[in-house]
């Protein structure tokens, strides 16, 4: 039985035509892009599920806010609105705006990390770990084992394994651990949430050793909605109450506003400690701009302030999770190997199981992303060995999860678009035996997945 789906809690006021391409055009486009979906021109893409980052549809209220941009070089009133939105919704005293999430990660890593430190986290994220490593730290994965198993059904698969965290503290000593990096939700695990009980326990353990808790707030509203749906005791709490409680256990956060801020650009660092805030402001002027704009225009800050409130609306979130679940359910019923259960922002295909005959160093997920584009014009993203990069010795990291992410932008696509995506994936699965892997022919030194190039193995 088809599941009944939740209708959109919005109506469409403006539309953007999208390209319909032929197979021949797509063959040429993906070849030009070095078989890397990041390098495709967007005008060659039919349904763009590369990312939910900055690809969201803003509301009429946000667009109206753009017209109220106060573009003064210093002291913009839009900054005050952004700061009070963060203070009100997240509860942090100090707000340092940045051009996007990695701007905040850069500043945070510089003010907290000393060379030789360790940063534990619930699975790595590409840009987050890159900034930790650039500042001399070693990342340690302390997520529960279930997170690395695409089949494991766990309601809070993003949880930290407290024993792993404790073991790291015993091994290297708390002085070498400036903070734990706690993502809510966990992108690379499949958009999986962290329970409030786990957040609380992590915070207690960390603080008992003087270790700070820094949250990656990028998809914190989605996390709050999962807590409301799945964690006993939270069903009657409002999303705003849950978001506030999540951050009450943290010392700070980095935020990419391009996700749960429902904007096209922007981010911030949230902090409670005045001393750290002073350090952050002395760096923001070097890398981003004045502490009252941090790389954003006044109108961008206004749209973000309004977007943060909209993302804390239960109907918006319930529909968002329902869209992801709809696609997840369709693929699952067709027997496609996917990460279970459904996450918050995307459906992740397990490429190792999809193409079991392609070894991981021939890039099964990269291959599948290219094949999906060739078949249908649907753009997805590799989240496997290419994204994981290399270790300090120069060897590939071999992540257990070799995934292709079908990421759903906020308020952009309809269920009919998701049907097209599901059909294309199901067709590809039928032809899976005929597909060969790829070799990498260009590799940049850092964050290689953005610009690496490949060739099919004949
Ligand atoms: N995430 C994503 O597509 C965009 C760039 S990486 C391919 O998922 C988390 C959990 C993220 C994230 C970006 C950032 C960085 C931090 N944490 O892209 O710099 O998912 O705004 O944020 C991307 P910015």
Q: How far is residue 388's CA from residue 397's CA, in Å, rounded to a whole number?
A: 6
- Bridge partners for 404 per DSSP: 349, 382
Which distant-in-sequence residues (6+ apart) come within 8 Å of 394 by Cβ? none
Q: How far is the CA of 97 from the centre of ligand 1 (A)?
A: 16
Tell me if residue 126 is catalytic: yes
pLDDT at 19: 87
**Which residues of 201-291 form beta strands (DSSP E)?**
212-216, 252-256, 267-271
Q: How far is the CA of 53 from the centre of ligand 1 (A)?
A: 7
Structure tokens at 13: 């006021």
Q: How far is residue 217's CA from residue 208's CA, in Å, rounded to a whole number?
A: 23
pLDDT at 5: 85
* 3-state SS assignment for residue 410: coil
Give all domains of the chain, ordered by start, each with its CATH number: 23-52+314-456 (3.90.1150.10), 60-311 (3.40.640.10)
pLDDT at 2: 60
Closest-lying ligand 1 atom to the alpha carbon of residue 258? 21
* Marked catalytic residue, from 48, 52, 216, 260: 216
Tell me if residue 216 is catalytic: yes
pLDDT at 3: 60
Low-confidence stretches of the chain (pLDDT beneath 50): none
Structure tokens at 96: 């340092």
pTM, two decimal places: 0.96
Q: How far is residue 63's CA from residue 38's CA, in Å, rounded to a whole number?
A: 28
Q: How far is residue 95's CA from residue 424's CA, in Å, rounded to a whole number?
A: 44
For 153-178, give one letter per residue: b (16+ CB within 10 A) or e.
ebebbbbbbeebbeebbeebeeebbb
pLDDT at 458: 87
* Marked catalytic residue, from 379, 383, 410, 411: 383
Q: How far is the CA of 3 from the centre of ligand 1 (A)?
A: 31
Asked whether 127 and 105 are in contact (CB, 8 A), the reply is yes
Length of the chain in terms of residues written? 458
pLDDT at 175: 98
Tell me if residue 179 is catalytic: no
Asked whether 102 and 126 are in contact (CB, 8 A), the reply is no
- Ligand 1 pocket, mutate which of 49, 53, 158, 404 (most atoms under 8 A from CB): 53
CB 258 less than 6 A from any atom of ligand 1: yes
Structure tokens at 431: 């032809």
Quick one: which of 200, 261, 208 has its CA closest to 58?
A: 261
Q: How far is residue 62's CA from residue 81's CA, in Å, rounded to a whole number?
A: 13
Asked whether 432 and 444 are in contact (CB, 8 A), the reply is no
Quick one: which of 30, 125, 127 has its CA closest to 369?
A: 30
């Amino acid at each position: 039985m088809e599941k009944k789906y939740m209708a959109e809690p919005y109506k469409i006021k403006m539309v953007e035509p999208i390209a319909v391409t032929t197979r021949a055009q797509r063959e040429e486009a993906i070849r030009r892009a070095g078989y890397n979906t990041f390098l495709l021109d967007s005008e060659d893409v039919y349904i763009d599920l590369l990312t939910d980052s900055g690809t969201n549809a803003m509301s009429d209220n946000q667009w109206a806010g753009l017209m109220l941009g106060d573009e003064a070089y210093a002291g913009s009133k839009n900054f005050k609105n952004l700061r009070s939105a963060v203070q009100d919704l997240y509860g942090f005293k100090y707000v340092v705006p940045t051009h996007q999430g990695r701007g905040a990660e850069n500043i945070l890593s510089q003010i907290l990390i000393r060379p030789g430190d360790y940063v534990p986290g619930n699975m790595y994220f590409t840009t987050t770990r890159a900034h930790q490593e650039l500042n001399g730290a070693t990342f340690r994965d302390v997520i529960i084992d279930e997170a690395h198993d695409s089949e494991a059904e766990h309601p809070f698969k993003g949880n930290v394994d407290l024993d792993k965290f404790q073991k790291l503290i015993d091994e290297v000593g708390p002085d070498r651990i400036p903070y734990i990096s706690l993502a809510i939700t966990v992108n690379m695990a499949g958009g999986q949430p962290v329970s409030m009980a786990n957040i609380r326990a992590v915070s207690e353990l960390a603080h008992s050793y003087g270790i700070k808790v820094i949250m990656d707030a990028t998809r914190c509203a989605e996390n709050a909605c999962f807590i409301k749906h799945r964690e006993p005791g939270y069903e009657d709490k409002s999303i705003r109450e849950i978001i506030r409680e999540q951050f009450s256990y943290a010392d700070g956060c980095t935020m990419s506003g391009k996700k749960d801020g429902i904007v096209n650009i922007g981010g911030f660092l949230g902090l409670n400690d005045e001393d750290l805030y002073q350090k952050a402001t002395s760096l923001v002027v070097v890398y981003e701009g004045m502490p009252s704009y941090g790389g954003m225009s006044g109108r961008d800050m206004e749209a973000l302030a309004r977007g943060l409130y909209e993302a804390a609306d239960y109907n918006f979130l319930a529909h968002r999770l329902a869209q992801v679940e709809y696609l997840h359910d369709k693929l699952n019923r067709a027997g496609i190997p996917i990460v279970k259960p459904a996450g918050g922002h995307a459906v992740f295909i397990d490429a190792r199981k999809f193409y079991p005959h392609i070894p991981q160093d021939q890039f099964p997920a990269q291959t599948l992303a290219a094949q999906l584009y060739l078949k249908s014009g649907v753009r997805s993203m590799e989240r496997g060995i290419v994204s994981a990069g290399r270790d300090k010795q120069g060897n590939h990291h071999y992540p257990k999860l070799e995934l292709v992410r079908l990421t759903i932008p906020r308020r952009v696509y309809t269920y009919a678009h998701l049907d097209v995506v599901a059909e294309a994936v199901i067709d590809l699965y039928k032809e899976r035996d005929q597909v060969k892997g790829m070799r990498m022919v260009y590799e940049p030194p850092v964050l290689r997945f953005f610009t690496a190039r490949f060739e099919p193995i004949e």
